[in-house]
Chain A
Amino acid sequence: MSCEKIEIAFGDARLAITGHRDLLDGARARFEHFIASESTSSTEREIALEHNGLYRFTDSRGASAEEESVGRLLRTLEARVLEIFIAANPQFVWLHAAAVSNGDRGVLILGRFGSGKSTLSHQFMQRGWKYLSDDAVPVHLGTGRAHPFPRTPNLRTGPTQMWSEERIRELRKTEIQLDASKVCRDPVAIHGIVLPKFNRDADIRLARIGASETAEELIESAMNLAVCAGEALPLLTGLAKRVPAFRLTYAEPSDAADAALEAFAGQNA
Protein backbone atom coordinates (compact mmCIF):
# COMPACT_ATOMS: atom_id res chain seq x y z
CA MET A 1 0.00 0.00 0.00
CA SER A 2 1.36 3.41 -0.92
CA CYS A 3 2.17 5.84 1.81
CA GLU A 4 1.47 9.51 1.25
CA LYS A 5 2.43 12.63 3.10
CA ILE A 6 0.96 16.01 3.84
CA GLU A 7 2.68 18.86 5.62
CA ILE A 8 0.82 21.22 7.87
CA ALA A 9 2.06 24.37 9.53
CA PHE A 10 1.06 26.99 12.02
CA GLY A 11 3.32 29.84 13.11
CA ASP A 12 6.68 28.42 14.05
CA ALA A 13 5.63 24.77 13.79
CA ARG A 14 5.62 22.55 10.77
CA LEU A 15 4.97 18.83 10.77
CA ALA A 16 4.40 16.00 8.35
CA ILE A 17 1.57 13.48 8.58
CA THR A 18 2.07 10.24 6.70
CA GLY A 19 -0.17 7.28 6.04
CA HIS A 20 -2.20 5.39 3.52
CA ARG A 21 -4.44 7.57 1.39
CA ASP A 22 -7.65 6.51 3.18
CA LEU A 23 -6.35 7.69 6.52
CA LEU A 24 -4.59 10.71 5.15
CA ASP A 25 -7.76 11.94 3.43
CA GLY A 26 -9.33 12.27 6.86
CA ALA A 27 -6.35 14.20 8.17
CA ARG A 28 -6.30 16.37 5.07
CA ALA A 29 -9.96 17.21 5.55
CA ARG A 30 -9.41 18.22 9.20
CA PHE A 31 -6.36 20.33 8.45
CA GLU A 32 -7.24 21.56 4.99
CA HIS A 33 -6.48 25.18 5.88
CA PHE A 34 -3.11 24.34 7.46
CA ILE A 35 -1.60 22.56 4.48
CA ALA A 36 1.86 23.99 3.96
CA SER A 37 2.27 25.58 0.56
CA GLU A 38 5.72 24.20 -0.14
CA SER A 39 6.90 20.72 0.67
CA THR A 40 10.21 20.42 2.45
CA SER A 41 12.59 17.54 2.00
CA SER A 42 12.89 17.05 5.74
CA THR A 43 10.31 18.09 8.27
CA GLU A 44 11.47 18.11 11.84
CA ARG A 45 8.50 16.23 13.13
CA GLU A 46 6.36 13.49 11.67
CA ILE A 47 3.19 11.71 12.68
CA ALA A 48 2.48 8.37 11.06
CA LEU A 49 -1.05 6.99 10.76
CA GLU A 50 -1.42 3.25 10.21
CA HIS A 51 -4.17 0.68 10.04
CA ASN A 52 -3.11 -2.77 11.00
CA GLY A 53 -6.09 -4.24 12.79
CA LEU A 54 -6.14 -1.23 15.08
CA TYR A 55 -5.73 2.35 13.98
CA ARG A 56 -2.33 3.49 15.14
CA PHE A 57 -0.79 6.90 15.55
CA THR A 58 2.96 7.33 16.05
CA ASP A 59 4.74 10.60 16.68
CA SER A 60 8.41 10.76 15.68
CA ARG A 61 9.12 12.06 19.19
CA GLY A 62 7.90 8.77 20.61
CA ALA A 63 4.25 9.33 21.54
CA SER A 64 1.86 6.74 20.18
CA ALA A 65 -1.74 5.64 20.54
CA GLU A 66 -4.01 2.91 19.25
CA GLU A 67 -7.66 3.50 18.52
CA GLU A 68 -10.53 1.30 17.45
CA SER A 69 -11.91 3.54 14.72
CA VAL A 70 -10.79 6.08 12.16
CA GLY A 71 -12.88 8.73 13.88
CA ARG A 72 -11.13 8.21 17.19
CA LEU A 73 -7.74 8.13 15.48
CA LEU A 74 -8.42 11.47 13.82
CA ARG A 75 -9.59 13.00 17.11
CA THR A 76 -6.38 11.81 18.75
CA LEU A 77 -4.44 13.28 15.85
CA GLU A 78 -6.23 16.61 16.23
CA ALA A 79 -5.44 16.74 19.92
CA ARG A 80 -1.79 15.87 19.34
CA VAL A 81 -1.36 18.40 16.57
CA LEU A 82 -2.90 21.06 18.78
CA GLU A 83 -0.44 20.18 21.58
CA ILE A 84 2.46 20.46 19.15
CA PHE A 85 1.28 23.80 17.74
CA ILE A 86 0.71 25.21 21.22
CA ALA A 87 4.14 24.13 22.45
CA ALA A 88 5.84 25.54 19.37
CA ASN A 89 4.05 28.87 19.53
CA PRO A 90 4.44 30.34 23.02
CA GLN A 91 3.95 33.83 21.61
CA PHE A 92 0.24 33.11 22.01
CA VAL A 93 -2.06 32.43 24.91
CA TRP A 94 -4.22 29.62 23.57
CA LEU A 95 -7.88 29.76 24.54
CA HIS A 96 -10.29 26.86 24.46
CA ALA A 97 -12.79 28.83 22.44
CA ALA A 98 -14.30 29.45 19.04
CA ALA A 99 -13.93 32.74 17.22
CA VAL A 100 -15.58 34.50 14.30
CA SER A 101 -15.05 37.89 12.72
CA ASN A 102 -16.87 40.57 10.84
CA GLY A 103 -14.26 42.70 9.17
CA ASP A 104 -11.71 43.51 11.84
CA ARG A 105 -14.15 42.82 14.66
CA GLY A 106 -13.71 39.47 16.34
CA VAL A 107 -15.99 37.68 18.78
CA LEU A 108 -14.74 34.98 21.10
CA ILE A 109 -17.12 32.17 21.96
CA LEU A 110 -16.01 30.66 25.23
CA GLY A 111 -17.42 27.50 26.69
CA ARG A 112 -16.74 24.17 28.16
CA PHE A 113 -17.06 20.91 26.32
CA GLY A 114 -20.45 20.59 24.62
CA SER A 115 -21.62 24.13 25.36
CA GLY A 116 -22.26 24.96 21.71
CA LYS A 117 -19.17 26.83 20.57
CA SER A 118 -19.13 25.17 17.16
CA THR A 119 -22.88 25.48 16.77
CA LEU A 120 -22.86 29.18 17.51
CA SER A 121 -19.85 29.92 15.33
CA HIS A 122 -21.60 28.08 12.48
CA GLN A 123 -24.65 30.28 12.99
CA PHE A 124 -22.53 33.41 12.86
CA MET A 125 -21.00 32.17 9.61
CA GLN A 126 -24.43 31.68 8.13
CA ARG A 127 -24.95 35.38 8.81
CA GLY A 128 -21.88 36.39 6.85
CA TRP A 129 -19.23 36.28 9.54
CA LYS A 130 -15.89 34.64 8.87
CA TYR A 131 -14.43 31.70 10.67
CA LEU A 132 -11.30 31.74 12.81
CA SER A 133 -11.68 28.58 14.86
CA ASP A 134 -14.22 26.38 16.57
CA ASP A 135 -12.11 25.00 19.41
CA ALA A 136 -8.76 26.71 19.94
CA VAL A 137 -7.98 30.38 19.51
CA PRO A 138 -4.41 31.67 19.71
CA VAL A 139 -4.36 35.22 21.04
CA HIS A 140 -1.07 37.02 20.46
CA LEU A 141 0.54 38.09 23.71
CA GLY A 142 1.96 41.22 22.13
CA THR A 143 -0.92 42.52 20.05
CA GLY A 144 -3.89 40.95 21.85
CA ARG A 145 -5.29 39.91 18.48
CA ALA A 146 -6.98 36.60 17.84
CA HIS A 147 -5.29 34.64 15.08
CA PRO A 148 -7.12 32.27 12.75
CA PHE A 149 -6.75 28.60 13.62
CA PRO A 150 -9.20 27.21 11.10
CA ARG A 151 -9.44 23.51 11.72
CA THR A 152 -12.36 22.19 9.74
CA PRO A 153 -15.32 22.78 12.07
CA ASN A 154 -17.22 19.89 13.55
CA LEU A 155 -20.82 19.96 14.59
CA ARG A 156 -22.39 17.27 16.71
CA THR A 157 -25.57 15.88 15.29
CA GLY A 158 -28.57 15.04 17.38
CA PRO A 159 -29.98 16.43 20.61
CA THR A 160 -26.79 16.67 22.52
CA GLN A 161 -26.02 18.99 25.28
CA MET A 162 -28.22 18.02 28.19
CA TRP A 163 -26.38 14.76 28.37
CA SER A 164 -23.28 13.75 30.18
CA GLU A 165 -19.88 14.52 28.73
CA GLU A 166 -19.26 10.82 28.12
CA ARG A 167 -22.52 10.47 26.25
CA ILE A 168 -21.80 13.56 24.18
CA ARG A 169 -18.40 12.21 23.22
CA GLU A 170 -20.10 9.20 21.69
CA LEU A 171 -22.13 11.35 19.35
CA ARG A 172 -20.85 11.61 15.86
CA LYS A 173 -19.50 14.94 14.77
CA THR A 174 -20.11 16.06 11.25
CA GLU A 175 -17.46 18.03 9.44
CA ILE A 176 -18.69 21.22 7.88
CA GLN A 177 -17.31 21.94 4.44
CA LEU A 178 -15.51 25.22 4.78
CA ASP A 179 -15.35 27.44 1.74
CA ALA A 180 -11.99 29.24 1.72
CA SER A 181 -13.80 32.54 1.30
CA LYS A 182 -15.48 31.96 4.68
CA VAL A 183 -12.17 31.64 6.49
CA CYS A 184 -10.68 34.71 8.12
CA ARG A 185 -7.01 34.97 7.10
CA ASP A 186 -5.84 37.84 9.25
CA PRO A 187 -5.60 38.40 12.99
CA VAL A 188 -8.51 40.39 14.39
CA ALA A 189 -9.08 42.56 17.43
CA ILE A 190 -11.48 41.03 19.95
CA HIS A 191 -14.57 43.18 20.40
CA GLY A 192 -16.90 40.86 22.27
CA ILE A 193 -17.20 37.62 24.17
CA VAL A 194 -20.14 35.27 24.37
CA LEU A 195 -20.48 32.27 26.67
CA PRO A 196 -23.16 29.97 25.29
CA LYS A 197 -24.97 27.28 27.22
CA PHE A 198 -27.48 25.01 25.58
CA ASN A 199 -30.61 24.20 27.59
CA ARG A 200 -33.40 22.67 25.58
CA ASP A 201 -35.99 23.64 28.20
CA ALA A 202 -34.94 27.24 28.62
CA ASP A 203 -36.18 30.40 27.01
CA ILE A 204 -33.43 32.36 25.38
CA ARG A 205 -31.62 34.46 27.94
CA LEU A 206 -28.76 36.86 27.39
CA ALA A 207 -27.10 38.48 30.38
CA ARG A 208 -24.14 40.85 30.45
CA ILE A 209 -21.48 39.73 32.90
CA GLY A 210 -18.90 41.79 34.72
CA ALA A 211 -15.23 42.11 33.99
CA SER A 212 -14.16 39.99 36.93
CA GLU A 213 -16.35 37.06 35.91
CA THR A 214 -15.22 37.45 32.31
CA ALA A 215 -11.57 37.43 33.36
CA GLU A 216 -12.14 34.27 35.34
CA GLU A 217 -13.69 32.57 32.32
CA LEU A 218 -10.86 33.68 30.05
CA ILE A 219 -8.24 32.45 32.51
CA GLU A 220 -10.01 29.10 32.89
CA SER A 221 -10.10 28.71 29.12
CA ALA A 222 -6.37 29.36 28.69
CA MET A 223 -4.64 26.12 27.77
CA ASN A 224 -1.00 27.16 28.14
CA LEU A 225 -1.12 29.50 31.11
CA ALA A 226 1.63 27.56 32.83
CA VAL A 227 4.15 28.90 30.33
CA CYS A 228 2.82 32.40 29.73
CA ALA A 229 0.87 33.55 32.80
CA GLY A 230 3.10 36.57 33.38
CA GLU A 231 2.18 38.01 29.99
CA ALA A 232 -1.24 36.44 29.57
CA LEU A 233 -2.84 37.63 32.80
CA PRO A 234 -2.52 41.36 32.13
CA LEU A 235 -3.71 40.71 28.58
CA LEU A 236 -6.75 38.68 29.63
CA THR A 237 -7.76 40.91 32.53
CA GLY A 238 -7.38 43.95 30.26
CA LEU A 239 -9.52 42.28 27.62
CA ALA A 240 -12.17 41.45 30.22
CA LYS A 241 -12.32 45.09 31.30
CA ARG A 242 -12.48 46.40 27.77
CA VAL A 243 -14.97 44.27 25.86
CA PRO A 244 -18.59 43.35 26.56
CA ALA A 245 -19.28 39.73 27.53
CA PHE A 246 -22.60 37.92 27.68
CA ARG A 247 -23.85 34.62 29.02
CA LEU A 248 -26.25 33.17 26.51
CA THR A 249 -28.64 30.39 27.44
CA TYR A 250 -30.47 29.02 24.45
CA ALA A 251 -32.47 26.16 23.02
CA GLU A 252 -32.50 27.24 19.40
CA PRO A 253 -29.08 28.05 17.86
CA SER A 254 -30.52 30.44 15.30
CA ASP A 255 -32.21 32.54 17.99
CA ALA A 256 -28.98 32.48 19.99
CA ALA A 257 -26.94 33.96 17.15
CA ASP A 258 -29.57 36.65 16.51
CA ALA A 259 -29.64 37.59 20.18
CA ALA A 260 -25.86 37.75 20.45
CA LEU A 261 -25.54 39.87 17.31
CA GLU A 262 -28.23 42.23 18.53
CA ALA A 263 -26.48 42.61 21.86
CA PHE A 264 -23.13 43.39 20.27
CA ALA A 265 -24.76 45.81 17.83
CA GLY A 266 -26.30 47.58 20.83
CA GLN A 267 -22.91 47.84 22.50
CA ASN A 268 -21.36 49.32 19.40
CA ALA A 269 -24.18 51.73 18.62
Chain B
Amino acid sequence: MNSFHHLPAWLLNALMADSSLALAQVTGWLDPVHFYPEDYVEDHYWGMMEEDPQAATLYALTICRDLFPAVYTRAVQHIRQGASFDELDTLICQTINEQYPLFNLTTIHDMRYGIPVEWYGIDLDSPEMLDQHPWAVDILADFGAIPEKLRGIVAFDYDDVWTAWQTAQHVVRSLVIEDRQPCADLALLLLWLFSSTENSLVDHSYEAWAEGGLEPLEWSRRTLIALREAAEQAQVIIDGALRGLDLLLGDEGYRAAFRHNIRTIAQAIQRGRKHVRLSWPDGPGDRGIEDGAGRNAEPDPAVLLVRLYRNEAD
Protein backbone atom coordinates (compact mmCIF):
# COMPACT_ATOMS: atom_id res chain seq x y z
CA MET B 1 0.00 0.00 0.00
CA ASN B 2 2.83 2.35 0.92
CA SER B 3 4.56 1.56 -2.32
CA PHE B 4 1.39 2.36 -4.27
CA HIS B 5 1.08 5.79 -2.60
CA HIS B 6 4.67 6.60 -3.44
CA LEU B 7 4.26 5.58 -7.05
CA PRO B 8 3.23 9.01 -8.46
CA ALA B 9 6.17 10.77 -6.81
CA TRP B 10 8.53 8.06 -8.00
CA LEU B 11 7.10 8.31 -11.50
CA LEU B 12 7.48 12.09 -11.59
CA ASN B 13 11.07 11.87 -10.38
CA ALA B 14 11.81 9.25 -12.99
CA LEU B 15 10.29 11.45 -15.71
CA MET B 16 12.35 14.44 -14.64
CA ALA B 17 15.54 12.36 -14.38
CA ASP B 18 15.42 11.57 -18.08
CA SER B 19 16.43 14.66 -20.07
CA SER B 20 14.22 13.87 -23.08
CA LEU B 21 11.13 13.16 -20.99
CA ALA B 22 11.77 16.22 -18.84
CA LEU B 23 12.00 18.36 -21.97
CA ALA B 24 8.78 16.83 -23.29
CA GLN B 25 6.99 17.72 -20.06
CA VAL B 26 8.17 21.30 -19.95
CA THR B 27 7.25 21.70 -23.62
CA GLY B 28 3.78 20.35 -22.93
CA TRP B 29 3.47 22.86 -20.10
CA LEU B 30 4.83 26.01 -21.73
CA ASP B 31 4.80 25.40 -25.48
CA PRO B 32 1.98 23.01 -26.46
CA VAL B 33 1.80 24.39 -30.02
CA HIS B 34 5.25 22.83 -30.56
CA PHE B 35 3.49 19.46 -30.92
CA TYR B 36 1.40 20.68 -33.87
CA PRO B 37 3.47 20.52 -37.05
CA GLU B 38 3.23 23.61 -39.26
CA ASP B 39 1.46 21.70 -42.03
CA TYR B 40 -1.13 20.46 -39.58
CA VAL B 41 -1.82 24.00 -38.36
CA GLU B 42 -2.31 25.25 -41.92
CA ASP B 43 -4.48 22.29 -42.95
CA HIS B 44 -6.44 22.46 -39.73
CA TYR B 45 -7.19 26.12 -40.28
CA TRP B 46 -7.92 26.22 -43.97
CA GLY B 47 -9.87 22.96 -43.85
CA MET B 48 -12.31 24.21 -41.26
CA MET B 49 -15.22 26.57 -41.47
CA GLU B 50 -14.26 30.23 -41.29
CA GLU B 51 -15.79 30.84 -37.87
CA ASP B 52 -14.47 27.68 -36.19
CA PRO B 53 -13.08 28.86 -32.81
CA GLN B 54 -10.68 25.96 -32.36
CA ALA B 55 -9.07 26.48 -35.76
CA ALA B 56 -8.86 30.24 -35.22
CA THR B 57 -7.30 29.74 -31.78
CA LEU B 58 -4.67 27.36 -33.06
CA TYR B 59 -3.81 29.66 -35.93
CA ALA B 60 -3.57 32.69 -33.60
CA LEU B 61 -1.38 30.77 -31.14
CA THR B 62 0.97 29.77 -33.94
CA ILE B 63 1.41 33.41 -34.95
CA CYS B 64 1.83 34.57 -31.34
CA ARG B 65 4.40 31.83 -30.70
CA ASP B 66 6.57 33.17 -33.53
CA LEU B 67 6.05 36.91 -33.08
CA PHE B 68 4.54 37.74 -29.67
CA PRO B 69 6.02 35.42 -27.01
CA ALA B 70 4.47 37.31 -24.08
CA VAL B 71 1.00 37.08 -25.65
CA TYR B 72 1.56 33.40 -26.42
CA THR B 73 2.55 32.64 -22.82
CA ARG B 74 -0.45 34.43 -21.38
CA ALA B 75 -2.82 32.79 -23.85
CA VAL B 76 -1.54 29.30 -23.08
CA GLN B 77 -1.91 29.86 -19.34
CA HIS B 78 -5.42 31.27 -19.87
CA ILE B 79 -6.41 28.18 -21.83
CA ARG B 80 -5.00 25.98 -19.06
CA GLN B 81 -7.09 27.91 -16.54
CA GLY B 82 -10.23 27.25 -18.58
CA ALA B 83 -10.69 30.61 -20.35
CA SER B 84 -13.51 30.76 -22.91
CA PHE B 85 -12.91 31.54 -26.56
CA ASP B 86 -14.26 35.07 -26.15
CA GLU B 87 -11.92 35.74 -23.21
CA LEU B 88 -8.98 34.40 -25.18
CA ASP B 89 -9.99 36.41 -28.25
CA THR B 90 -10.12 39.61 -26.18
CA LEU B 91 -6.79 38.90 -24.47
CA ILE B 92 -4.90 38.27 -27.72
CA CYS B 93 -6.40 41.22 -29.63
CA GLN B 94 -6.00 43.71 -26.80
CA THR B 95 -2.41 42.74 -26.05
CA ILE B 96 -1.31 42.85 -29.68
CA ASN B 97 -3.07 46.18 -30.27
CA GLU B 98 -1.36 47.62 -27.18
CA GLN B 99 2.05 46.61 -28.51
CA TYR B 100 1.24 47.96 -31.97
CA PRO B 101 -1.11 50.93 -31.54
CA LEU B 102 -1.61 51.27 -35.28
CA PHE B 103 -3.08 47.78 -35.56
CA ASN B 104 -6.82 47.34 -35.34
CA LEU B 105 -7.22 43.64 -34.67
CA THR B 106 -10.81 43.10 -33.50
CA THR B 107 -10.97 39.31 -33.47
CA ILE B 108 -8.48 36.49 -33.99
CA HIS B 109 -10.74 35.22 -36.79
CA ASP B 110 -9.35 38.12 -38.86
CA MET B 111 -5.72 37.07 -38.42
CA ARG B 112 -6.02 34.89 -41.52
CA TYR B 113 -6.32 38.08 -43.60
CA GLY B 114 -2.82 39.22 -42.65
CA ILE B 115 -1.63 42.01 -40.39
CA PRO B 116 -4.52 44.42 -39.76
CA VAL B 117 -3.07 47.88 -40.26
CA GLU B 118 -4.81 51.18 -40.77
CA TRP B 119 -4.98 52.24 -44.43
CA TYR B 120 -5.32 55.97 -45.05
CA GLY B 121 -5.42 56.15 -48.86
CA ILE B 122 -7.95 58.31 -50.73
CA ASP B 123 -9.46 56.77 -53.87
CA LEU B 124 -10.18 59.80 -56.00
CA ASP B 125 -11.87 57.64 -58.64
CA SER B 126 -14.27 56.12 -56.13
CA PRO B 127 -17.80 57.59 -55.86
CA GLU B 128 -17.78 56.83 -52.09
CA MET B 129 -14.85 59.21 -51.70
CA LEU B 130 -17.21 62.19 -51.96
CA ASP B 131 -18.91 61.17 -48.72
CA GLN B 132 -15.82 59.81 -47.00
CA HIS B 133 -13.61 62.85 -47.61
CA PRO B 134 -15.77 65.90 -48.37
CA TRP B 135 -12.78 68.17 -47.62
CA ALA B 136 -10.94 66.58 -50.56
CA VAL B 137 -13.71 67.78 -52.89
CA ASP B 138 -13.25 71.28 -51.50
CA ILE B 139 -9.47 71.28 -52.04
CA LEU B 140 -9.69 69.72 -55.51
CA ALA B 141 -12.11 72.49 -56.53
CA ASP B 142 -9.21 74.94 -56.06
CA PHE B 143 -7.38 72.96 -58.76
CA GLY B 144 -10.41 73.11 -61.07
CA ALA B 145 -11.51 69.50 -60.53
CA ILE B 146 -15.25 69.26 -59.89
CA PRO B 147 -17.21 65.98 -59.52
CA GLU B 148 -19.51 65.25 -62.44
CA LYS B 149 -22.47 62.98 -62.93
CA LEU B 150 -21.42 60.27 -65.37
CA ARG B 151 -23.80 57.43 -66.18
CA GLY B 152 -25.81 58.18 -63.08
CA ILE B 153 -22.82 58.18 -60.72
CA VAL B 154 -21.30 61.35 -59.32
CA ALA B 155 -17.50 61.09 -59.40
CA PHE B 156 -14.37 62.89 -60.55
CA ASP B 157 -13.39 62.68 -64.16
CA TYR B 158 -9.99 61.01 -64.44
CA ASP B 159 -8.63 63.67 -66.81
CA ASP B 160 -9.59 66.46 -64.39
CA VAL B 161 -7.75 64.72 -61.53
CA TRP B 162 -4.73 64.17 -63.74
CA THR B 163 -4.64 67.85 -64.73
CA ALA B 164 -5.02 68.84 -61.07
CA TRP B 165 -2.06 66.62 -60.15
CA GLN B 166 0.10 68.23 -62.86
CA THR B 167 -0.50 71.59 -61.18
CA ALA B 168 -0.24 70.20 -57.66
CA GLN B 169 3.22 68.75 -58.36
CA HIS B 170 4.56 72.26 -58.95
CA VAL B 171 2.83 73.52 -55.82
CA VAL B 172 4.35 70.70 -53.76
CA ARG B 173 7.79 71.42 -55.22
CA SER B 174 7.49 75.04 -54.18
CA LEU B 175 6.31 74.11 -50.69
CA VAL B 176 9.14 71.61 -50.20
CA ILE B 177 11.77 74.15 -51.16
CA GLU B 178 10.46 76.51 -48.43
CA ASP B 179 11.77 73.96 -45.85
CA ARG B 180 9.58 75.28 -43.03
CA GLN B 181 6.14 75.16 -41.54
CA PRO B 182 3.32 75.40 -42.41
CA CYS B 183 4.55 74.68 -45.94
CA ALA B 184 5.64 71.15 -44.97
CA ASP B 185 2.14 70.37 -43.67
CA LEU B 186 0.55 71.67 -46.87
CA ALA B 187 2.95 69.63 -49.00
CA LEU B 188 2.01 66.51 -47.02
CA LEU B 189 -1.68 67.30 -47.49
CA LEU B 190 -1.33 67.48 -51.27
CA LEU B 191 0.88 64.37 -51.41
CA TRP B 192 -1.73 62.48 -49.38
CA LEU B 193 -4.60 63.78 -51.52
CA PHE B 194 -2.93 62.60 -54.73
CA SER B 195 -1.59 59.31 -53.27
CA SER B 196 2.01 60.34 -53.92
CA THR B 197 3.72 60.09 -50.52
CA GLU B 198 5.41 56.80 -51.50
CA ASN B 199 4.19 55.34 -48.23
CA SER B 200 1.90 52.41 -49.08
CA LEU B 201 -0.26 52.85 -45.99
CA VAL B 202 -0.99 56.45 -46.97
CA ASP B 203 -1.22 55.97 -50.72
CA HIS B 204 -3.61 52.99 -50.66
CA SER B 205 -6.99 52.38 -49.14
CA TYR B 206 -7.69 48.85 -47.92
CA GLU B 207 -10.08 48.33 -50.83
CA ALA B 208 -7.50 49.52 -53.38
CA TRP B 209 -4.86 47.26 -51.84
CA ALA B 210 -7.11 44.20 -51.81
CA GLU B 211 -8.65 44.82 -55.24
CA GLY B 212 -5.23 45.49 -56.73
CA GLY B 213 -4.40 41.83 -56.31
CA LEU B 214 -1.73 42.55 -53.71
CA GLU B 215 -1.09 39.84 -51.14
CA PRO B 216 -2.22 40.27 -47.52
CA LEU B 217 0.54 41.46 -45.23
CA GLU B 218 1.96 38.21 -43.91
CA TRP B 219 2.59 37.64 -40.23
CA SER B 220 6.38 37.64 -40.25
CA ARG B 221 9.05 39.41 -38.27
CA ARG B 222 10.35 41.18 -41.36
CA THR B 223 6.91 42.50 -42.30
CA LEU B 224 6.29 43.65 -38.72
CA ILE B 225 9.52 45.66 -38.66
CA ALA B 226 8.79 47.24 -42.05
CA LEU B 227 5.21 47.99 -41.04
CA ARG B 228 6.24 49.60 -37.80
CA GLU B 229 8.48 52.01 -39.73
CA ALA B 230 5.82 52.62 -42.36
CA ALA B 231 3.15 53.21 -39.72
CA GLU B 232 5.34 55.69 -37.83
CA GLN B 233 5.99 57.60 -41.03
CA ALA B 234 2.30 57.42 -41.96
CA GLN B 235 1.41 58.99 -38.62
CA VAL B 236 3.75 61.92 -39.29
CA ILE B 237 2.25 62.37 -42.76
CA ILE B 238 -1.37 62.21 -41.62
CA ASP B 239 -0.77 64.47 -38.59
CA GLY B 240 0.93 67.05 -40.80
CA ALA B 241 -1.68 66.78 -43.55
CA LEU B 242 -4.52 67.30 -41.06
CA ARG B 243 -2.78 70.39 -39.66
CA GLY B 244 -2.42 71.67 -43.22
CA LEU B 245 -6.10 70.96 -43.84
CA ASP B 246 -7.11 72.85 -40.70
CA LEU B 247 -5.05 75.79 -41.91
CA LEU B 248 -6.66 75.84 -45.36
CA LEU B 249 -10.18 75.41 -44.03
CA GLY B 250 -9.82 77.76 -41.11
CA ASP B 251 -7.66 80.63 -42.35
CA GLU B 252 -9.22 82.55 -45.24
CA GLY B 253 -6.07 84.58 -45.83
CA TYR B 254 -3.94 81.50 -46.20
CA ARG B 255 -6.54 79.85 -48.41
CA ALA B 256 -6.50 82.92 -50.67
CA ALA B 257 -2.70 82.67 -50.98
CA PHE B 258 -3.02 78.97 -51.74
CA ARG B 259 -5.55 79.62 -54.51
CA HIS B 260 -3.46 82.47 -55.90
CA ASN B 261 -0.40 80.24 -56.16
CA ILE B 262 -2.41 77.51 -57.87
CA ARG B 263 -3.64 80.02 -60.46
CA THR B 264 -0.07 81.27 -60.97
CA ILE B 265 1.15 77.73 -61.61
CA ALA B 266 -1.74 76.92 -63.94
CA GLN B 267 -1.05 80.05 -66.00
CA ALA B 268 2.68 79.27 -66.12
CA ILE B 269 1.95 75.75 -67.37
CA GLN B 270 -0.34 77.19 -70.08
CA ARG B 271 2.37 79.62 -71.19
CA GLY B 272 5.07 76.96 -71.13
CA ARG B 273 7.09 78.61 -68.41
CA LYS B 274 9.21 76.17 -66.42
CA HIS B 275 10.28 78.23 -63.44
CA VAL B 276 7.85 80.13 -61.27
CA ARG B 277 8.65 81.45 -57.82
CA LEU B 278 5.73 81.35 -55.41
CA SER B 279 5.36 83.23 -52.18
CA TRP B 280 4.04 81.43 -49.11
CA PRO B 281 3.00 83.39 -46.02
CA ASP B 282 3.80 82.30 -42.48
CA GLY B 283 1.22 80.33 -40.57
CA PRO B 284 -1.13 82.13 -38.17
CA GLY B 285 0.93 81.07 -35.11
CA ASP B 286 4.29 82.10 -36.53
CA ARG B 287 6.04 85.32 -35.78
CA GLY B 288 9.27 86.43 -37.34
CA ILE B 289 12.58 86.23 -35.53
CA GLU B 290 12.74 89.99 -35.88
CA ASP B 291 9.79 90.15 -33.48
CA GLY B 292 11.84 88.41 -30.84
CA ALA B 293 9.78 85.24 -31.11
CA GLY B 294 11.46 82.16 -29.73
CA ARG B 295 11.49 79.41 -32.34
CA ASN B 296 11.06 75.80 -31.25
CA ALA B 297 14.50 74.18 -31.12
CA GLU B 298 13.05 70.70 -31.63
CA PRO B 299 13.18 69.46 -35.23
CA ASP B 300 9.74 69.36 -36.79
CA PRO B 301 9.00 65.79 -37.96
CA ALA B 302 6.95 67.00 -40.93
CA VAL B 303 9.72 69.33 -42.14
CA LEU B 304 12.31 66.56 -41.75
CA LEU B 305 10.10 64.14 -43.65
CA VAL B 306 9.38 66.55 -46.48
CA ARG B 307 13.13 66.93 -47.05
CA LEU B 308 13.04 63.38 -48.43
CA TYR B 309 11.09 64.80 -51.38
CA ARG B 310 13.55 67.64 -51.80
CA ASN B 311 15.80 65.83 -54.28
CA GLU B 312 12.84 65.41 -56.58
CA ALA B 313 11.93 69.05 -56.08
CA ASP B 314 15.44 70.22 -56.89
| Chain A bound to chain B | no
